[in-house]
Structure 1
Amino acid sequence: MTTMKAIWVEQVGEPDVMQLRDVPVPEAGEGQVRLKVEAVGINFADVLAVKGQYLTRTQTPLTPGMEFAGTVDQLGPGVKGLQVGQRVAALAGRGGLAEYAVVPAQTVVPVPDGLSAPEAAAFPVSYYTAYITLVTLGHARPGETVLVQGAAGALGTALIQLARAMELNVVALASSEEKLSLARELGAQTTLVSERPDIVEAVREVTGGQGVNLLVEITGGEMFGRSLQMMANRGRVMVVGSASGERATVDAVTLMKKNLSVTGVWLSSMLGEPGVVREAMAVFGPLVQSGRLRPQVGPSYPLAQSAQAFRDILARKTTGKVIIEPQA
């Protein structure tokens, strides 16, 4: 096999810029691994990369797909600790929307046993981000209350599951009752429609007037100011995204009055920290085996319908992790 199908982006823009092309099958070089890609987990960051609006500048031409799972197909010189035929996941930043992908060996991450390919593809970004948000940077303690925005999405569902395993109280926000029903199934004790005009008052009411200890902010813009009003004294706001695309402003006096802290969370920069992945996996393994953590796989699309998958994410039509299967 000398050619393969891949998604190709020559210039950034709306999902329509994504083209399905025949391209050469890549060869694994020094320190690299080639994967036969079985499933790609699509994150909002992938959508932003195609639009040219991600945290880092999009380098074109681009084959999107930051997070994917598959089997090791070829080992490059100098690669140790992996073997052909082994199922792994990769957090390579790009390249997943193709039948085969070559990635640096250090971007290959373990996935817990017993997960299907779509579940494995849905696992790394959402669950490692959830762990870093709640544990590594958020310092959550049993009995505290965490508010999760976008509760029915891939990250939201991971956060709810991990929070419940950590004995946290969960207030889940989502845009519809249908999405909130999933949050309740996963263990969220309190669910609220995020678009209600009195959302600040509602959150304060369900927390007995105290506010929440930890809040996972993915919206940005005007919502960020409301998030600050939902906090308890010494609360921690964890900024994981800015889905609105609008710039948020922080009023220093608001932070001072309640001793609030605001922390940015970006998985890419944390993966270079020694021991972070190892520490998280030690927690994940038993929780996956017991069924307390299970990736919520959403709709699945073939490679040729990648642009439609991105459009559906932008239109907020999906729940769980959107999956694209290049081999389908």
Structure 2
Amino acid sequence: MKAWLCENPIGVEALSWKDLPDLPPGPGELRVAIKAASLNFPDLLIVQNKYQMKPPLPFVPGTEFAGVVEAVGEGVKGFKVGDMVAAFSGTGGFGTHANINAMLAMPLPAGFSFEDASAFICTYATSHHALIDRAALQPGETVLVLGAAGGVGTAAIQIAKAAGARVIAAASSDEKCARCVEIGADATINYAKASLRDELKALTGGKGPDVVYDPVGGDLAEPVFRSIAWRGRYLVIGFAQGAIPALPLNLALLKGASVVGVFWGEFAKREPRRNAAALQQLAQWYAEGKVKPVLDQVLSMSQLPEAFARMGSRQVVGKLVLVNA
């Protein structure tokens, strides 16, 4: 097998494409021939030694991929050679093959492309857990999605619409805002040009959004939280802008609002049955055409450095996907 190996986590430039030994799956594992893998923001952080999970060196990065089962380890039930699967494994995706715990594999129904499947679990499971579970989103409520053109943002737009909500998508350019409308947003705000507070007041008749989906953090958080509706739920997804905001907690009191943490990975570990049910609903929504990953570009696995460079430029709309020929 071949894979991108991280031997020194100082950044993307230290990754190297290397031949590695083919290892049979251990007990409870599947060996998967990887057909497609997608980039997520943690993939960048982990090779920079900035992510909360620090795998032992050396390691193959790549949190998420899809492919075909080539071998089944001892004790594995429910999978056979030839099955199509997707997985969110934390590492191992940026290569031609990977051995993974079978508990991490999601069987793919017929008609689910490898490219879509590789860009599905992390962003859609995160957004489903956030909006449906943590926020208890109701039909007719208004959701503000920050960073709406990114991977989790585009997933959040689609899931909120599938749940019957009205969606305001906030992004950093007119082009990104236009793409958000194409995938279902009811209204948009270009926060590089306009005041978030003024636009939210106009778009909600002064009420504010019922739910805020925030994967950005930084200096957007406080003005948005000041605009949230009574009994609003502010979903803390991540901090793509870099800075972790410090919200004045008196605002939560005055608004009767909740600040709600969203950590899908831990939820999946602690509540596997609820996570499996969410993934099942998402797969059904995919089959019904209600959700579909937005793919920015599909590149060769050998083009990982170029994909990271595009991610770092903040030009990506949706997800970047790498494929093995």
Structure 2 counterpart of 1:310, from 300, 308, 313: 308
Structure 2 counterpart of 1:289, from 274, 287, 290: 287
Please tell me whether residue 9 in structure 1 is matched to residue 33 in structure 2: no
Give the Cα separation in 1 of the matches to 2:108 and 2:213: 24
Could you list the runs of 4 or more consecutive aligned residues of structure 1 that deviate by over 4 angstroms after TM superposition?
none
Per the alignment, residue 322 of structure 1 pairs with 320
Q: Any conservation in 2 of the 1:52–1:58 contact (CA below 8 Å)?
A: no
1:99-147: per-residue Cα shift (whole Å, max 9, x none)? 0000011111233431211011111111111110111111000110001
Distance 1:224 1:55, change over 3 A: farther
Considering only aligned residues, what root-mean-square deviation do their CA atoms show, in Å? 1.4
Identify the range of structure 1 (219-228 vs 76-85) with the bigger mean alpha-carbon deviation: 219-228
Q: Any conservation in 1 of the 2:67–2:114 contact (CA below 8 Å)?
A: yes
Structure 1 counterpart of 2:273, from 249, 272, 275: 275
Give the Cα separation in 2 of the matches to 1:268 and 1:282: 17
State the identity as a percent. 34
Per the alignment, residue 252 of structure 1 pairs with 249
Per the alignment, residue 263 of structure 2 pairs with 266
Per the alignment, residue 195 of structure 1 pairs with 192
1:123-142 alignment runs, 5 A limit = 123-142=120-139
> Secondary structure of the equivalent of 2:42?
helix
Q: Any conservation in 2 of the 1:217–1:227 contact (CA below 8 Å)?
A: no
1:12-91 alignment runs, 5 A limit = 12-91=9-88
> Secondary structure of the equivalent of 2:290?
coil
The code of the aligned residue for 2:275 comes to: V
Please tell me whether residue 237 in structure 1 is matched to residue 234 in structure 2: yes
Give the Cα separation in 2 of the matches to 1:111 and 1:134: 23
Distance 1:101 1:243, change over 3 A: same
The code of the aligned residue for 1:79 comes to: V
Per the alignment, residue 301 of structure 1 pairs with 299
1:136-170: per-residue Cα shift (whole Å, max 9, x none)? 11100011000111212221111111111111000
The code of the aligned residue for 1:251 comes to: P
> Secondary structure of the equivalent of 1:234?
coil
The code of the aligned residue for 2:86 comes to: A
Give the Cα separation in 2 of the matches to 1:176 and 1:228: 22
TM-score normalised to the size of structure 1?
A: 0.95
1:270-311: per-residue Cα shift (whole Å, max 9, x none)? 112032233213422432222111111221222221111111
Please tell me whether residue 98 in structure 1 is matched to residue 73 in structure 2: no
| Count of aligned pairs between the two proteins | 324
Unaligned 5+ runs, structure 2:
none
Q: What is the Cα deviation at residue 58 of structure 1?
A: 4.6
TM-score normalised to the size of structure 2?
A: 0.96
> Secondary structure of the equivalent of 2:222?
helix
Identify the range of structure 1 (266-275 vs 90-99) with the bigger mean alpha-carbon deviation: 266-275
